[in-house]
Amino acid sequence: MTLAPYAADDRHSRGRRHPEASPGHRSEYQRDRDRIIHSGAFRRLEYKTQVFVNHEGDLFRTRLTHSIEVAQIARTMARTLALNEDLCEAVSLAHDLGHTPFGHAGQDALNACMKPYGGFEHNAQSLRVVDELEDKYAEFRGLNLMFDTREGILKHCSVARARTLGDVGERFLQRTQPSLEAQLANRADEIAYNNHDIDDGLRARLLTIEQLREVPLFRRHHDLVVQRYGAISPKQQRHETTRRIINTLVVDLTESSRKALADAGVATIDEVRGMHAPLICFSAQVQAENEALKRFLREHLYSHPQVYRIMVKAKRVVTELFDAFFADPRLMPPDFSDAARRMEASDGETGRARAIADYIAGMTDRYALDEYERLFDPRRLR
């Protein structure tokens, strides 16, 4: 496939932090994708939650299935726009590697614990995972990914954190943009989690079709399904509606982005990066409809009493684990307690706290629950 002139091309990339020989029969971005898939952090995504805690059911999305779905959506759009599919896939598969157990509740709790020590941001943690924490290669720490992949993983970042991140933090200080592939993976993430949370929310019976019909984007597509198929099963209604919503969002994003690229007249990836607004974008109407869907999910799913109760418990688990480890890092496994000691020697309590955050952020849902029980249940002596 011929790439557009403004697409990412590994032959002209800023490359890797540690130079390596060419991978030969695959592109540099394919090598990145493969390293991500073979990482321990990627495997652990199987047991990290999206909205529902992992043990609540086998059919709900996890961070792993979500990441695969994001990659599928991103690759589809990348091919249509003549962008680099391999880079889109690598960014999509890696974007949640630094996420905590228990989804956003775990992230919020860990960020609160880390507030005196620089805070916790899961995007920055994903970058830390691929730059430092994956430890399997003899010649470097981390996965030594290409600049463009690392740039795409860091979707959001505070200015304070950006100042510590070198080349990938520059755009947050200069208020410029990443590659189109990074922008595309970010939008694919949004499309995936909104619509898959609808699916999981209906399956869990925390949402109803009647409630969702308050959302114009859902109602419009549900009407089309009812008109075409009549009385079909709730499961079929759910799937036929959500797949049409995803298709509408993908088609609109593709066409609107194509127009934005033509209007901007960009001819190189450097010109893309020099823009002060993203060029991968929805039309105004679909953007408004998508925002209404996100508001609905915040109010009716993420704040649902059943979800809220679980998330309160999850925050307590993360907070109490952090407090216990901070008081006595020897409670952690030797690799992490040794890291806490080394990091504290060089950076004081901030170093100790960061090592503890690394340990907790890497936990799966069930490992965090088991660790909590091991620490606080007097009947568990091992």
Residue 215 has pLDDT above 50, yes or no: yes
Answer yes or no: are the C-beta atoms of 75 and 88 closer than 8 Å.
Answer: yes
Q: What is the pLDDT of residue 52?
A: 55
* Residue among 134, 123, 130 at smallest CA distance from 100: 123
The domain spanning residue 183 has which CATH number?
1.10.3210.10
Q: What is the pLDDT of residue 196?
A: 86
- State the pLDDT confidence band at 164, using cuts at 50, 70 and 90: confident
Helix (H) or strand (E) holding 324: helix 305-327
Residue 249 lies in a domain: yes
Q: Which of 26-35, 108-117, 168-177 has the lowest mean pLDDT?
A: 168-177
CA distance 18 to 147: 11
Across the range 297-319, mean pLDDT stands at 90
* Residue among 73, 91, 110 at smallest CA distance from 193: 73
Across the range 148-166, mean pLDDT stands at 90
Partner residues linked to 62 by β-bridges: 49
Q: What is the pLDDT of residue 230?
A: 87
- State the pLDDT confidence band at 204, using cuts at 50, 70 and 90: confident
CA distance 54 to 366: 7
Across the range 191-213, mean pLDDT stands at 90
Residue 55 has pLDDT above 60, yes or no: no
Tracing tokens 């088991």 back to the chain, one arrives at 370
* Residue among 178, 156, 155, 148 at smallest CA distance from 274: 178
What percentage of the chain reaches a pLDDT higher than 90? Answer: 81
Which tokens sit at 19?
A: 């130079």
CA distance 209 to 308: 21
Residue 367 has pLDDT above 50, yes or no: yes
Q: What is the pLDDT of residue 252?
A: 97
Q: Which residues contact 38 (CB under 8 A, 6 or more apart)?
A: none
Q: What is the pLDDT of residue 228?
A: 93
From its phi and psi, is residue 207 left (phi > 0), alpha (psi between -120 and 50) or beta?
beta
Greatest extent of the chain over all pairs of C-alpha atoms, in Å: 68
Q: What is the pLDDT of residue 56?
A: 47
- State the pLDDT confidence band at 382, using cuts at 50, 70 and 90: low
* Residue numbers of the domain that contains 263: 25-306
Tracing tokens 């952690």 back to the chain, one arrives at 332
Neighbours of 373 (CB within 10 A): 12
Residue 313 lies in a domain: no
Q: What is the pLDDT of residue 336?
A: 95
Q: Which of 58-62, 135-139, 167-171 has the lowest mean pLDDT?
A: 58-62
Residue 362 lies in a domain: no
Residue 57 has pLDDT above 60, yes or no: no
Q: What is the pLDDT of residue 159?
A: 86
Q: What is the pLDDT of residue 54?
A: 46
Residue 357 lies in a domain: no
Answer yes or no: are the C-beta atoms of 179 and 171 closer than 8 Å.
Answer: no
Q: What is the pLDDT of residue 103?
A: 86
3-state class (DSSP) for residue 208: coil
CA distance 74 to 86: 10
Residue 315 lies in a domain: no
Residue 263 has pLDDT above 50, yes or no: yes
CA distance 46 to 43: 6
- pLDDT, mean over the chain: 92
Task: Tell how many helices (H) and how many strands (E) occur in the chain.
Answer: 18, 0
Residue 381 lies in a domain: no
Residue 233 lies in a domain: yes
Domain count, the chain: 1
Residue 39 lies in a domain: yes
Across the range 84-93, mean pLDDT stands at 98
CA distance 259 to 280: 10
Across the range 297-324, mean pLDDT stands at 92
